[in-house]
Amino acid sequence: MIAQLTGLLAQLETDRCVVDVGGVGYLVQASTRTLSALPHPPEVARVLVETVVREDAILLYGFADAAERDWFRLLTTVQGVGAKVALGVLSSLSPRDLIAVIASGDRGSLTRAPGVGARLAERILSELKDKAASMPTGGPGGAPVAATAPGGLEADALAALAGLGFRRAEAHVAVGRVIERLGPGARLDLVIRDSLKELAK
């Protein structure tokens, strides 16, 4: 079972890459998020790998970090979510975004991923709602996201954005990104300002 590949990045496409390890080229399918994090060919690249063995093929799926690989494994436990759909979800949403989307029941964000319709989005939300909070965010150390204390920085920022007319689900994603970047000790006005910039993208 292949768990990791380190070698020359021989080829880079929109949904896959080829990693040359000792003269053997391994075809690795990956999310756009992982592929954009890789260096330009022919530089040395390291990808974490999930090996899927089928009757007719051995398929390799690559990830830039352990958080994305863990989410791939979790997503594929949901009936109707195969490897291709899981990579589509991970191309649309980062691990941190997925936690926020599932916590807030944001079906619309999930249906933006290729291959995810309304019914499948509901199934993902239903089956993963009790598991998402303990999943890694992909931030420093890949630590699980911590619950925000009532009246904390995140809650205050969300309340302010809700007052400006933003939906809680989209605001939750933006505020989470900003606090991750600025740190939990950031001033509320700066968090709100940068969150508005995120939401305007």
113 within 8 A of 85, measured Cβ to Cβ? yes
The pLDDT of residue 138 is: 61
Q: For the chain, where do the domains classified as CATH 1.10.150.20 start and end?
A: 66-142
How distant, in Å, are the alpha carbons of 52, 55, 60, 69, 199 from that of 2? Answer: 9, 17, 8, 13, 39
171 within 8 A of 199, measured Cβ to Cβ? yes
Give dist(CA 24, CA 116) in Å, integer. Answer: 35
The pLDDT of residue 107 is: 85
The pLDDT of residue 171 is: 81
The pLDDT of residue 77 is: 92
Local mean pLDDT, 10-residue blocks, the chain (201 residues): 88 90 92 87 89 88 91 92 92 86 84 89 89 68 35 74 75 84 79 83 70
The pLDDT of residue 30 is: 93
Partner residues linked to 51 by β-bridges: 60
CATH 1.10.357.10 assigned to 4-63: no
72 within 8 A of 63, measured Cβ to Cβ? yes
Q: For the chain, where do the domains classified as CATH 2.40.50.140 start and end?
A: 4-63
Nearest to 125 by CA among 101, 147, 145, 144: 101
Long-range contacts of residues 149-154, Cβ cutoff 8 Å, at least 24 apart: 153/179, 153/184, 153/186, 153/188, 153/191, 154/179
The pLDDT of residue 74 is: 92
Question: Could you count the other beta carbons within 10 Å of the beta carbon of residue 54?
Answer: 8
Partner residues linked to 24 by β-bridges: 21
* Backbone phi, psi, residue 184, to 5°: -65, -10
DSSP classification of residue 136? B
Token pair listed for 199: 């939401």
Q: For the chain, where do the domains classified as CATH 1.10.8 start and end?
A: 153-200
Write down the CATH number for the domain with range 66-142. Answer: 1.10.150.20
Give dist(CA 117, CA 81) in Å, integer. Answer: 11
The pLDDT of residue 143 is: 33
pTM above 0.85, yes or no: no
Domain covering 153-200, topology: Helicase, Ruva Protein; domain 3 (1.10.8)
